[in-house]
Structure 1
């Protein structure tokens, strides 16, 4: 006895699952975009705050006066420095590179 395979029904079910998966990715992309935009807005606000703090100092206020008024120094942004990759010891030049080693 042969069983009937309904290809259209199977395709519709798989398409429904695929659509659901794609919806989750669309929501994730929207969320990531929102986070990136918020970070950019925060960075701009922090830069503006630092400029205005410096303007207050330039106008004659000092850090102690501003701090005692409830306006502490702006938080320092964490700057990420890229480190130069270290060369393995075998490929580094010896400190006395001009001298020949073991060759007479």
Structure 2
């Protein structure tokens, strides 16, 4: 009987140790997730700040005027706005790539040394 009690006590102790280890993994995972969410929120706020800064400049405010009011230029760039064609309009055609012409009588390949 003493041997089986020792086994049960050992297993109980091992389970307690594993539960503590698992709890620390759980706490770390929650912190990692919270950090990721905070970074995503910060990125969104930085983009919003950059967008409203651009709106201020388009509205006629100068950088100097905005600085004199205590504003700083945003560190992030405003997201690019996608120009979409209005209903019934075709989008502008893409420019064709420039391909240099080959001189007459050449194949365009580079000769190999012999």
User: Is TM (by shorter chain) over 0.5?
Assistant: yes
Q: What is the TM-score when the length of structure 2 is the normalising length?
A: 0.65
Q: Give the secondary-structure state (helix, strand or coil) at the position aligned to 1:4.
A: helix
Unpaired runs of 5+ in structure 2?
Answer: 78-108
2:51 aligned partner: 51
Larger Rg: 2
Pairs aligned (count)? 81
Kindly report the root-mean-square deviation, in angstroms, between the aligned alpha carbons of the 2 structures.
Answer: 1.7
Structure number with the bigger relative contact order (C-alpha 8 A, sep ≥ 6) is 2
Hey, what's the Cα distance between the residues in 2 that align with 1:39 and 1:69? 28
Hey, what's the Cα distance between the residues in 2 that align with 1:51 and 1:45? 10
Q: What is the TM-score when the length of structure 1 is the normalising length?
A: 0.71
Hey, what's the Cα distance between the residues in 2 that align with 1:99 and 1:21? 67
Q: Give the secondary-structure state (helix, strand or coil) at the position aligned to 2:74.
A: coil
Q: Which runs of 4+ in 1 moved over 6 A?
A: none
